[in-house]
Amino acid sequence: MHAELHVGGSKLHFADSMGRPVRDEGDNVRIILDLETEEEMTRIFEALSEEGTVTVELQDTFFGALHGQIVDKHNVGWVMNHFRS
């Protein structure tokens, strides 16, 4: 199940575990960021990875985005996208 909540110019995305067992590392909460620039994304990705764990390195994807994932030092999962136009 998925849901989106639009608040002003921001978007909150909610999803269940899609039947997968929930692990301890960053699976209870994931924050999805759609970032405006590659520079902004790289800066945030590097800052979170300093004391966190990179689960998906920054990479170009088939869906037209620069994408990466991190579990931060507080066990919060971060999913980051920069969609190139």
Strand order in the sheet with 30-34: 30-34, 77-83, 65-71, 53-60
Q: What is each CA distance from 6 to 11, 12, 16, 20, in whole angstroms?
A: 5, 6, 18, 27
Q: What is the pLDDT of residue 17?
A: 65
Q: What is the pLDDT of residue 18?
A: 66
pLDDT digits 0-9 by tens, 27-47: 667 788 888 899 999 999 999
**What percent of the chain has pLDDT above 90?**
48
User: Which residue did the predictor score with more confidence, 55 or 9?
Assistant: 55
Asked if 80 contacts 72 with a C-beta cutoff of 8 angstroms, the reply is no
Fold for the domain defined by 2-83: 2,3-Dihydroxybiphenyl 1,2-Dioxygenase; domain 1 (3.10.180)
CA end-to-end distance (rounded Å), the chain: 28
Q: What is the pLDDT of residue 62?
A: 93
